[in-house]
Structure 1
Amino acid sequence: MSQQSEIFTDQILNFTLPARDARGRAVRLDCVLNTVLSAHDYPAPIRHLLAEALVLAALIGGLLKDAGAQMTMQAQTQDGVVKLLACDYRAGEVRGYVDFDTERLAGLGSNPSLFALFGQGYLAITFDGVGGGERYQGIVPLEGESLANACENYFVQSEQVPTLIRLGVRNDPDGCVAGGILIQHLPDGEDGRDRLHARLDHPHWEHVSIMGGTIRHDELLDEELSLEAIIWRLFHEEDSIKVEPGAHVIRGCRCSIAHYQSVLNTFPPQELNEMRDDDGVIKVDCAFCSQVFPIAI
């Protein structure tokens, strides 16, 4: 890994374009991405899918301002090859996993479409602990050519916020690198929630979305090109661009024996007895990190 890669990966960059009523987040994931992917022996299409999801988790979760707030994203279907994609973000910590049908995936080729993977699925995005503990959830059909398209639809349909998202993923034998940028039109400012009058054809948003849409996948993945340089390339004609470092992104699987003991303590004795093996131990398998925790309770 180059020195430039170490400097410019696994950290969110926040930026605003004050004259255009726009804000954005950019991120490039490297070490944290490969740490999460290493928990399971995912085939290439699933590695690509989960890499996109983790970048989206960082971009969308990075919008949260409340300490301790969490963003959870789930893509799910009843009849698709991918049964469940789940990831979340909290204070710079990301985790994720994919449950899929191995045999059916093998018949889809090396680059299956979103519809081939999920069929008639849906996307649910949930914000917990926002604004002093409130919970917001939006559910939209899993439509479009990519997860990024589905997330754009979520923001337009559930939050009425015009949003542009672009992602790039490179999956090499030496590891995976993924990057992304998210830009939003917020005429009421960063903290406003009553944004029903935001329009997709607003002159400011039309300009910003056209400029932002020129980003190339190879630029998002170029480890010799900083995120700051990317933002400058896109918006160097603006009067003002404000940038500031966001959270460092790390893997944050919160599984532990103490955590699972507290969860199991909520079950009635009869159900606990049914969970125990012949040695009287309850074994809990964490899907996120692929560890098995023996719990004596």
Structure 2
Amino acid sequence: MADSAAPTAGTGFDQILAFTVPDRNARGRVVRLGLPLDAVIAAHSYPAPIRHLVAEALVLAALLGSLLKDEQGQLTMQAQTQDGVVDLLVCDFRGGEVRGYARFDRARLDDLGPSPTLHALFGDGYLAITFDMATTGQRYQGIVPLEGETLAEACESYFVQSEQIPTLIRLGVRSDSAGCVAGGILIQHLPEGEEGRERLHVQLDHPEWEHMRIMGGSVSRAELVDPALELEALLWRLFHEEREVRVEKGVHIAKGCRCSNEYYRSVLARFDPAEQAEMRNEEGLILVDCAFCSRIFEIDLD
């Protein structure tokens, strides 16, 4: 990418673009979501502040989930509080599929105005990030306070506190009559390599990281959501002075809801007959409301 000419063709929407800057011991991911975002949001009549929040969360899920080396692994991000306007925000990423849902108090939300802060939405909440490895069965989870101005800042804190990895995340969201577009970039400093060594001493002021933080932090929200700016060209703008930037296309992103009659039937079959009987309605059906896709499934166990 250090050539004199910027790339002319590449990635636009709904695909992860992974990159590394070897001389700076840095890796990153960049993504811009369009159709999957609209598909998730369309399942609910979210007001503008919640639509913006869910859009940011889905981009974060795609960025963080794409770090998984286990292709069948799952990243789950959950923000929760007992005293906030939004008492639950959950989204996940698995195999390129994202889904998300927010539960909130509409009356209290209306009192906050058009652009509520993160603290106004969640109060003294927390953010839990969980990596589930399908091949090994291992689970890694970190929990941090929902502090800062954005979800991105809370995720940065997670990586520093739980993973000892200096991380920069920038997000952008644009919503209008044509739909919703959201983009994001994640950059991390890995001076001891990605595997095999413990990162015991985090250097947030490391010269290499300081350089990457400044360059990556210069990206604008407008660039992240600009449909005419391909992601390779965006990276070129940020890092064209580097000797080498390695770029690799990752998975395509799609809206994924794993809900189905068969799935819920298998879950309900684990309950004993007495519990199943209590769940049945007058017609003998068990109604399951899927919050992710806003659908009600009628399950007939017979």
Give me the TM-score of the superposition, normalised by structure 1: 0.96
More displaced stretch, 203-212 vs 266-275: 266-275
Q: Distance in 2 between matches of 1:145 and 1:192?
A: 34
**1:273 corresponds to which residue?**
277
> Structure 1, residues 69-114: CA drift from partner, whole Å, max 9, x if none?
0000000000100010000000100000001011111111110000
Give me the TM-score of the superposition, normalised by structure 2: 0.95
Do residues 218 (structure 1) and 207 (structure 2) align? no
- The answer to whether the Cα contact below 8 Å between 2:72 and 2:135 also exists between their aligned partners in 1 is no
Superposed counterparts of 1:238-253, under 5 Å: 238-253=242-257
TM-aligned CA deviation for residue 130 of structure 1: 6.1
Q: Distance in 2 between matches of 1:193 and 1:257?
A: 45
Secondary structure of the residue aligned to 1:8 is coil
Give the AA of the match of 1:275. M
Superposed counterparts of 1:1-297, under 5 Å: 8-129=12-133, 132-192=136-196, 194-297=198-301
Give the AA of the match of 1:152. E
Give the AA of the match of 1:91. G
User: Structure 1: which 5+ residue stretches go unaligned?
Assistant: none
> Structure 1, residues 164-221: CA drift from partner, whole Å, max 9, x if none?
0000000102200000000000112233462222311111101100111100111111
> Structure 1, residues 208-251: CA drift from partner, whole Å, max 9, x if none?
00111100111111111111111111111111000010110001
Give identity over the alignment, percent. 66
| Matched residue count | 294
Give the AA of the match of 2:296. V
Q: Distance in 1 between matches of 2:141 and 2:50?
A: 25
**2:4 corresponds to which residue?**
none
Question: Which 4+ residue blocks in structure 1 deviate beyond 4 angstroms?
Answer: none
User: Structure 2: which 5+ residue stretches go unaligned?
Assistant: 1-7
TM-aligned CA deviation for residue 17 of structure 1: 0.3
| Gap change, CA 1:255 and 1:130, over 3 Å in 2 | closer
Secondary structure of the residue aligned to 1:105 is helix
TM-aligned CA deviation for residue 273 of structure 1: 1.1
